[in-house]
Structure 1
Amino acid sequence: MNTPSAQPALLIAGHGTRDEGGAAAFRDFVAELGARNPQLPVAGGFIELSPPPLGDAVTELVERGVKRFAAVPLMLVSAGHAKGDIPAALTREKERHPGISYTYGRPLGPHPALLKVLERRVDEVLGDTDRSEVTVLLVGRGSTDPDANAEVYKASRLFWEGRGYAGVETAFVSLAAPDVPSGLDRCVKLGAGRIVVLPYFLFTGILPDRVRQQTGKWAAAHPELDVRSAEVIGAAEELLDLVMERYREAVKGDLRMNCDSCVYRIALPGFEDKVGLPQQPHFHPDDDGHHHHPHHGGHAHSH
């Protein structure tokens, strides 16, 4: 059994939200991971919007005597934060704390364990309704990165396989099409009479709330349809286990980044100008109050 000094610590990197409930859920999740792994130093912080900042979490680990850690992004897809902002922040922390070293893990989804949780979230609102009569609309955050959006579509397809739903469609709440109303319209055009809108988010926050609000508004305009809203993934047992799986991968060096369709490495149609460019911090217009801390500078993209 490894002693704490021989085992790299675990650093959880979150996106951040203006929603205090969502931020508290992240902090509680990090605390639960620490409680479940008392031999392992665990800390967590946010890239933006919420305390504590990621830098404070690194400082906390250093003050506990940590020299090595594995950083796991608590994110479902590999978009700008996972590909750029977190590595930039970690590079900065390495300069601030000479002598530390780290490995960087991969995002969480789509993973069978999380698909199982999503299935449970749908079942919670279905009751005894036959799945073959239900179309699910999986709604992701949305990104300007086509690879990240494609990962959400991959999750939808994997969620459809073998579960007996009439269909699983995909939409986004920010930055990418189709939006939630368009996704619901598509479900109807495909013959759906019963629809469950399933937010592809880990915790509550402004954007999952917006998904629910947009769903409610659309449903009110279509009273002839049965439209229900499922809950976010939340701090499920499967999520806790998956983070530890990603931690062990990072410690072993078993890193499988999705480079084959990365917009910064491959010339994808319409995005050819991004190949080889340094990444800059980006702006989410649909995240209320969204901003980046000044220390997140541009940097060369690499895996």
Structure 2
Amino acid sequence: MHPTTQPALLIVGHGSRDEGGAEAFRSFVRGLAGRTPEGVAVAGGFIELSPPPLTEAVAELAAQGARRMAAVPLMLVSAGHAKGDIPAALARERLRLPGLSFAYGRPLGPHPGLLSVLERRVEEAAGGWARSETTVLLVGRGSTDPDANAEVFKAARLLWEGRGYAGVETAFVSLAAPDVAAGLERCRALGARRIVVLPYFLFTGILPDRVRAQAAAWAEAHPEAGVRHAAVIGPEPELSELVLARYREALEGDIRMNCDACVYRVALPGFADKVGLPQQPHHHPGDHDHAHHGHGPHDHGSHDHGPHDHEHGHQPHVRAH
């Protein structure tokens, strides 16, 4: 084990009643420990349901000499756990172990790396189906937080853009509508005959199993529709790279809002030609009257998008809440 000379990486999970899912998290943490720079200690813990609890992970890092830690929530959306439970737990740890400090990273979100993994999962499930004839139903966990549910819809849209699928629809397995059956009905109503049900989950567990069971029940009742089921994201290299990126940006305070999938910064499928291009003044349809009223061109702030110049109206760099 490397001596802890850098801020430690604390990975925070929700926890699961399914031991297989909990062990997948623990295995991912063990694997990530071999990918960090020298001197960066890694530990992971859960806020509920599964061992080890977060407090043990913090104690493990503190015992190695860590006094500053970057906590990264291993969660796809900013639900209540990421917004409230984890910050509250970290506040308790500061009181319990005076001298510790925490930088808090943001959830993983629909990052291009994870979208690439989702795309692979669809292709694995679809087999030889043509993309133009394949509709994807992306199924999220579901939350009482509308902001978290909206992030799943954003992921669905980004998965659809530039990849040639007939469509990407959204459903939830609990707490939010539409449920899996309703999502599949929507796909059918839109004319889909080949549907890949894609669970928007990192690891296996009770809820991904429920998605599969509900999709299978609907498919049995609708034999005219071809329904296939994709695997979860899993411990892919893209996931490890994203966690390390969240670690770095948390420590640097370099959190650029909404930039993960910006076409001027990231080579998204079908939009690679836009990376690094300067924006030009442009007109929207209906803007032709402006010139007759003393207005100049409809300009959204012409500016360069070089490799390291990516502000275009974003908030200043801020630390996560």
TM-score bracket, shorter-length normalisation: 0.7 to 0.9
The equivalent of 1:281 in structure 2 is none
1:177 Cα deviation after fit:
0.3
2:250 match: secondary structure? helix
Structure 1 runs (4+) deviating above 6 angstroms are none
Where 1:212 maps in the other structure, the secondary structure is: helix
Is structure 2 residue 204 aligned with structure 1 residue 198?
Answer: no
Aligned to 1:170: 170
Q: How many residues align?
A: 258
Would you say the 8 A contact 1:77–1:148 is kept in 2? yes
What do residues 102-156 of structure 1 show as CA deviations (whole Å, max 9, x unaligned)? 1000000110000000000000011121010010000000001111000000000
- 3-state secondary structure, aligned to 2:182: helix
Could you say what the CA RMSD is over the residues aligned between the two structures, in angstroms?
1.3
Using the alignment, how far apart are the partners of 1:11 and 1:138 within structure 2?
Answer: 29
Are the equivalent residues in 1 in contact too, given 2:33–2:41 (CA < 8 A)?
yes
Task: Report the TM-score, using the length of structure 1 for normalisation.
Answer: 0.83
In the alignment, the residues of structure 2 paired with residue 141 and residue 34 of structure 1 have an alpha-carbon distance, to the nearest angstrom, of 28
Q: Deviations over 1:232-272 (max 9, x none)?
A: 000001000000000000010123578xxxxxxxxxxxxxx
Contact preservation (8 Å) 1:14, 1:73:
yes
Partner of residue 31, structure 1: 30
Where in structure 2 are the equivalents of 1:136-155 lying within 5 Å? 136-155=136-155
Task: Name the counterpart of 1:130.
Answer: 130
Give the distance between the partners of 1:256 and 1:80, measured in 2 at CA.
Answer: 21
Q: Name the CA distance, whole Å, in 1 between partners of 2:88 and 2:221.
A: 45
Match of 2:295 in 1: none
Q: Paired residue for 1:78?
A: 78
Map residues 276-295 of structure 1 onto 2, 5 A cutoff. Answer: none
- Give the Cα–Cα distance (whole angstroms) in 2 for the partners of residues 257 and 73 of structure 1: 17
Asked if 1:248 corresponds to 2:265, the answer is no
- The answer to whether the Cα contact below 8 Å between 1:15 and 1:81 also exists between their aligned partners in 2 is yes
> Residue type of the partner of 2:165?
Y
Output the CA distance in 1 between the equivalents of 2:166 and 2:151: 21
C-alpha distance in structure 2 between counterparts of 1:110 and 1:125, whole Å: 20
Question: Could you say what secondary structure the match of 2:198 adopts?
Answer: strand
Q: Which amino acid aligns with 2:44?
A: G
Post-superposition Cα deviations, 1:140-181, rounded to whole Å, max 9, x if no partner, equal 000011110000000000000000000000000010000000
- Contact 1:134/1:192 (CA < 8 Å) preserved in 2? yes
- Matches of 1:5 and 1:19, distance apart in 2: 32
Give the Cα separation in 2 of the matches to 1:85 and 1:257: 22
Name the aligned partner's letter for residue 10 of structure 1.
Answer: L
Query: 2:62 — aligned with what?
Result: 62
Structure with larger RCO (C-alpha < 8 A, sep 6+): 1
Does the 8 A contact of 1:142 with 1:149 survive in 2?
Answer: yes
Could you tell me the percent identity over the aligned residues?
A: 73
Aligned position for 1:285: none
Q: Distance in 1 between matches of 2:153 and 2:39?
A: 38
Indicate conservation of the 8 Å contact 1:122/1:230, yes or no: yes
Q: Is the 8 A contact 1:106 1:257 kept in 2?
A: no
Task: Check whether the contact 1:106–1:256 (CA below 8 A) recurs between aligned residues.
Answer: no
Taking the TM superposition and a 5 Å limit, the aligned residue runs for 1:35-54 are 35-37=34-36, 38-54=38-54
Deviations 1:58-112 (Å, cap 9, x if unpaired)? 0111111110010000000001000000000000001000001110000001100
Give the structure-2-normalised TM-score: 0.78
